[in-house]
Amino acid sequence: MTGKNVVVIAGPSGSGKNSLIREMQRRFHTIDRLVTATTRHPRTGEADGVDYHFFSQEQFDEELGKGTILEHRFVAALNTYYGIYAPDLDARIQAGHIVFAQVDIVGARVLKEHYNATTIFIMPESLSQFEGRLRVRNPEWSPKEFAARIKITEEEVRVHAPQYDYRVVNGDGALMETVDAVIDIMRKEGYNLA
């Protein structure tokens, strides 16, 4: 596929990815969200095919064998697999949607290679500002967990962010400006925003 139908939105936890995607969906009826596959059980209120495609380990392995899961990762702490489920993505594209995918750098590369995705990394304004945002958002985190999250964020910003096509800063209270920047990128890249 060579059209412009997929956008990767990546960034540290708490960078505003979900808020950005929700605002894009509010503004444009053709924007949809990629629903990934997972081996974890649904939480209360989650629906299969809406929040995730919930597979047993056997089903996930079968889909991997068929090649319908393009990329996957195992989260050891959760004993859970997550993956890009091609049938979901293809169906959304066939329906005429632009699909926003929240994936890591490996998933971004796969989607760029197979779907000509534009990859965008949402950057914190500064690490100190971002630390403050995380502390307010997650007061239940222990100092050890907080330090681990900050270390992951530092690595993502230093190592992964330069590998994306674009980097957009999302400062505190600047979501609308961030959304406008993403819209400008999409228009420049040839997406049909309707």
Rounded CA separation 123/177 (Å): 13
Task: Report the amino acid identity of residue 115.
Answer: Y
Q: Are 129 and 171 in contact (CB under 8 A)?
A: yes
Tokens of 63: 């889909």
Residue 3 has pLDDT above 70, yes or no: no
Hey, what are 11's tokens?
A: 């960034």
pTM for the whole structure: 0.86
Extents of the domains making up the chain:
6-189
Per-residue pLDDT of 72-122, as tens digits, reads: 999 887 889 999 999 999 999 999 999 999 998 999 999 999 999 999 999
Architecture field, domain 6-189: 3-Layer(aba) Sandwich (3.40)
- Predicted pLDDT at 1: 42
Give per-residue pLDDT as tens, 21-78. Answer: 999 999 999 999 999 999 999 999 999 999 999 999 999 999 999 999 999 999 887 8
Q: What digits encode the pLDDT tens for the residues 133-155?
A: 777 777 787 888 778 778 888 88
Q: How many CB atoms lie within 10 A of CB 18?
A: 12
